[in-house]
Amino acid sequence: MAKNAPGDINIFNITDPEQYRCQVYHYHARLSRLYLRVFKGVAETPVFYLLFTDVALMDCPVNWQGANFEIAPAEACIELLLAAGLIGKAILQFPGAYASITDYARLYQVATANRKIQLIANSASLLHQLPKEI
């Protein structure tokens, strides 16, 4: 089970997460599910998979080095939702009004050598095999 609180780091408890590379494998638009394949080093077979559910935003290339996912503070999630136009600025007029949003939306991040990977989703989990229905 992945850690799920804002501020949590290395949420999948991966040893040496910098040694892994992630690849977008499948996005199921109807279910808003994102599946990532995760490889160690130059291996061509995934070691495991990551599933993000109720995905609202993906700001990432198809491949990147590093699997050290963290959950950003709720304020950073709100800022990105505002910047992307997914919520309106009117919400800022009511302090704490966005709590209902951040109860269900988390900003998952990975800092790579080239850029920051950002995913807004409800939850994330590590899978050792994919469901058959993919």
Both ends of the chain: CA-CA distance in Å? 21
Rounded distance between C-alpha atoms, residue 134 and residue 131, angstroms:
6
Q: Is the pLDDT of residue 2 over 70?
A: yes
pTM: 0.90
Q: Is the pLDDT of residue 22 over 90?
A: yes
pLDDT value at residue 95? 66
pLDDT in tens, 63-89: 999 999 999 998 899 899 999 988 888
Question: In the 3-class helix/strand/coil scheme, how is 85-97 assigned residue by residue?
Answer: CCCCHHHHHCCCC
Rounded distance between C-alpha atoms, residue 134 and residue 120, angstroms:
21
Residue 5 belongs to some domain of the structure:
no
Residue 2 belongs to some domain of the structure:
no
Q: Identify the domain containing residue 28 by its residue range.
A: 17-127
Mean pLDDT of the chain: 91
Number of domains making up the chain: 1
pLDDT value at residue 92? 75
Residue 22 belongs to some domain of the structure:
yes
Residue 80 belongs to some domain of the structure:
yes
Residue 66 belongs to some domain of the structure:
yes
* Minimum mean pLDDT range among 11-25, 37-51, 55-69, 99-113: 99-113
Residue 8 belongs to some domain of the structure:
no
Residue 4 belongs to some domain of the structure:
no
Residue range 104-122: mean pLDDT, rounded? 95
Residue 49 belongs to some domain of the structure:
yes
Rounded distance between C-alpha atoms, residue 29 and residue 79, angstroms:
24
